[in-house]
Amino acid sequence: MAWYFGNLAFAYYLAGRPADAVAAVSQKMEHPWYSTLAAAHARLGHLDEARASIDKFLLERPGWTIGKEAVWPSAKKPQLTEKLLKPYLADLAKAGLPAE
């Protein structure tokens, strides 16, 4: 089940295990969660891979921004506590996700 591995990868990322997040997304998912993959690669310092993942993500979600990601899925409240959200959004910015 793809959603299981996507959620597992995001949990690994949030737990400070970005290499495990990359493995869960890359090896277990036919259609990777590119935002998670991009953030994990950015955290690892793999900026070329992070940018490539964001490019693929933006093909699926044109016009997506850091601002939209910050409040996904409700579009009203942050999805994570500030302690987790701030570094996640910073990693996505490093990967090339537009601010607005």
Per-residue pLDDT of 53-96, as tens digits, reads 999 999 999 999 999 999 877 667 787 889 999 999 999 999 99
DSSP string, 33-58: -HHHHHHHHHHHT-HHHHHHHHHHHH
How many CA atoms are closer than 13 Å to the CA of 86, on its beta-carbon side? 3
Q: Which domain range does residue 31 map to? A: 2-95
Please tell me the pTM assigned to this model.
Answer: 0.91
pLDDT at position 16 over 90: yes
Comparing 37-41, 48-52, 63-67, 68-72, the range with the smallest average pLDDT is 68-72
Number of domains in the chain: 1
Residue 26 domain flag: yes
Query: Would you say residue 62 lies in a domain?
Result: yes
Neighbours of 84 (CB within 10 A): 14
Residue 100 included in any domain? no
Tell me the CA distances in angstroms from 73 to 15, 67, 68, one per residue in order. 21, 12, 9
Would you place residue 99 in the very low, low, confident or very high pLDDT band (cuts 50, 70, 90)?
A: very high
